[in-house]
Amino acid sequence: VRALRPMPDVSESLYLFGTMVEIEIHGVDDATARAAIAAVDAHLETLHRDWHAWRPGELESLNAAIAAGAPFTVDAPMAAVLTQGRALACASDGLFDPAIGALVEAWGFHADTLPEGDPPPAAEIARLVAAHPRMTDLTISGREVRSSNPAVQLDLGAYAKGAALDLAEADLRAAGITDAVLNAGGGVQVMGRHGARPWRVAIRDPFAWGVVAALELQPGESLHTSGNYERYLEAGGLRFSHILDPRSGRPVTDIVSVSVLAQNGALADAAATALSVAGAKDWPRIAAQMGVENVLMITGAGEIFATPAMRARLAPVGGDFPAPV
Ligand code: ADP
Ligand code: MG
Ligand code: MG
């Protein structure tokens, strides 16, 4: 069936995963689009509950079992996201490592609200780092998860959004959608095209109200930006980023934002976090290890680094583009 007139886009904003998620669907009738969005809504709602580290739910129960030295049987999506997280952690040399949940909690970055108070005492940070919690401590056999290290506490915050958008894309596809964009606070996932053109997105300027560049995303691509300008702890006149270096237990200081474009949302999200930790010197090596070719990094000094592949895709800002990532 061919539409005689172009179908209008259907778009909805939902509050999911502690953030606004905008879903824009092109090329189908309103009822099909709304049904697809409802499916995504319900699914992301479930994932948010199951994957939350500090609210009653599956992950919290798993963390309690790990602390008690006991094995725990998770559901299949959890086993899959943990397996993917462990592989990504290995590829990043542990710069992205969701096992550092205790450290995240000590800094107060585990809640949906901005943390308050003082940074944790140096001795507490040292103790948490010395316990050396790593994703490689996990054994995942089928749906049974156990940890050889009781200090492991899982916090999926650095890649959950990307992983969830990957699953949401599958939901949309199952509902018959071929052309859509999902935009969730710092992460965007594209399916198909916007009519004759690719979907366009923009990368936020961390220093000013605006964007640094626009680019077109090809079907199936994801773009994730990790920034230290949205979630941080403010104490003693200093701002502490919510991205922590697992080696020191302290927040990243010199990198303001990292955007990664990849074929997979979880990979793009995890890599954006890992490269923020890697910093201005080491990021190319970690990007290569993670198999990521499109990176844009902005340092606190205002320098912009980009891979040649990414540079080639950046378009000057101007005209109309959707909300920045
Ligand atoms: P954003 O919130 O901007 O998307 P990230 O994707 O980098 O940023 O996620 C940051 C969150 O990930 C933190 O709030 C914390 O829960 C967790 N986290 C912080 N540092 C790390 C790290 N090095 N590895 C894994 N998770 C981390
Ligand atoms: Mg993120
Ligand atoms: Mg991330």
The two structure tokens encoding residue 260: 């990664």
ipTM entry: 0.97
277 lines ligand 1 (CB under 6 A): yes
40-52 pLDDT, tens digit per residue, is 999 999 999 999 9
Strands 304-306 and 10-16: unpaired
Indicate which ligand has the atom closest to the C-alpha of 86: 1
Answer whether residue 232 shows pLDDT above 80: no
Indicate which ligand has the atom closest to the C-alpha of 98: 1
- Considering the chain, what percentage of its residues have pLDDT values greater than 70? 94
| Average pLDDT in the chain | 92
Angle at 269 between CA 104 and CA 298, to 5 degrees: 90
41-95 pLDDT, tens digit per residue, is 999 999 999 999 888 999 999 999 999 999 999 999 999 999 999 999 999 999 9
104 lines ligand 1 (CB under 6 A): yes
CB crowding 240-256: b at 16 or more within 10 Å, else e: bbbbbbbeebbbbeebb
How far is 164 from 105, CA to CA, in rounded Å? 22
Answer whether residue 1 shows pLDDT above 50: no
How far is 202 from 212, CA to CA, in rounded Å? 7
The full set of domains in the chain, from first to last, is 10-47+166-313 (3.10.520.10), 56-147 (1.10.3980.10)
257-306 pLDDT, tens digit per residue, is 999 999 999 999 999 999 999 999 999 999 999 999 999 999 999 999 99
Residue 42 CA to ligand 3 centre (angstroms)? 23
Smallest CA separation from ligand 1 atom 5, residue: 158
88 lines ligand 1 (CB under 6 A): no
